Amino acid sequence: MLSVQVKNARGEVLRKIAADPGFEPVLLGVDAAVHPHLAVLDPYGDTVFNYLQVKRLLLELDTYGPASGAPEAFLEELRQLCRLVLDGTHRFLWFIGS
pLDDT at position 27 is 87
**Cα-Cα-Cα-Cα dihedral sign, residues 55, 38, 47, 19:** positive
- 72-91 tens-digit pLDDT: 999 999 999 999 999 999 99
> Domains in the chain, please, with CATH?
3-96 (3.40.1760)
* Residue 18 pLDDT greater than 90, yes or no: yes
Q: What pLDDT digit, counting tens, does each position of 25-69 carry?
A: 988 899 999 999 999 999 999 999 999 999 999 999 988 976 788
The model scores a pTM over 0.85: yes
The CA-atom distances, in angstroms, between 6 and each of 9, 20, 45, 63, 89 are 10, 17, 16, 22, 12
